[in-house]
C-alpha cells in the first residue's frame, strides 16, 4: 500500500489457502489497546492462513490419490487417448467428499472452536477500542468547549 494510506489493504487470494491476505494499517500514534487489537487480528489471519493452506494441500493430494485409485480399478489411465485428464462422475466424487469430510471432522471442529475464541477476543477488543476512542473524543470536545 502507498505510504499515505490510512486503511487496511486486502490482497489477492493466496494460491494455497485461497484466503485474501490483509495488510493492516498501523497508525502513527497507536495506543497499546489498538496495538493488541491489530496483533490479535494479524494472529487470527495467520492461523486461518496456516489451517486452510494445510487443509487445501491435503484435500488436493487425497483427491488426486482417490481419482488415481478409482481410475486404476477401472483399468483406465490418468489421461485419456486425447491427452485430456480423466475424471470421475459426480457420484464417485461425492464418495470422496463425504469420506474426506468425515475423516477431517475433528480438525474442522477444533478449527471452529479456535476461530470462535479468536473472534470473540477480537470483538471484545474492538468494543474496548471503540469505547476508549469515544471517551477520548468526549474529553476532547469538553476541553474545546
Residue reference for cell 476532547: 140
* pLDDT at position 101: 96
Angle at alpha carbon of residue 14, lines to 88 and 27, rounded to 5°: 160
98-123 per-position pLDDT tens digit: 999 999 999 999 999 999 999 999 99
Task: Tell me which long-range contacts 40-46 makes (C-beta under 8 A, separation of at least 24).
Answer: 40/118, 40/121, 40/122, 40/125, 41/122, 43/118, 44/115, 44/118, 44/119, 44/122, 45/19, 45/21
* pLDDT at position 76: 79
Residues in the chain predicted with pLDDT less than 70, given as ranges, are: 144-145
Residue pair 71/39 in contact (Cβ under 8 Å)? The answer is no
Cα–Cα distance, 33 to 38 (Å, whole number): 9
* pLDDT at position 36: 97
Amino acid at each position: 500500500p502507498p505510504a499515505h494510506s490510512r486503511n487496511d489493504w486486502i490482497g489477492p487470494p493466496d494460491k494455497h489457502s485461497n484466503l485474501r491476505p490483509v495488510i493492516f494499517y498501523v497508525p502513527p500514534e497507536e495506543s497499546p489497546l489498538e496495538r493488541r487489537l491489530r496483533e490479535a487480528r494479524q494472529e487470527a489471519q495467520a492461523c486461518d492462513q496456516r489451517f486452510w493452506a494445510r487443509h487445501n494441500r491435503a484435500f488436493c493430494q487425497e483427491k488426486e490419490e482417490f481419482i488415481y485409485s478409482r481410475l486404476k480399478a477401472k483399468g483406465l489411465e490418468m489421461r485419456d487417448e486425447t491427452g485430456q485428464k480423466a475424471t470421475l462422475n459426480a457420484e464417485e466424487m461425492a464418495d470422496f467428499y463425504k469420506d474426506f469430510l468425515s475423516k477431517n471432522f475433528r480438525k474442522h471442529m477444533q478449527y471452529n472452536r479456535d476461530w470462535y475464541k479468536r473472534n470473540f477476543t477480537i470483538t471484545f477488543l474492538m468494543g474496548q477500542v471503540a469505547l476508549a476512542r469515544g471517551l477520548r473524543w468526549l474529553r476532547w470536545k469538553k476541553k474545546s468547549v
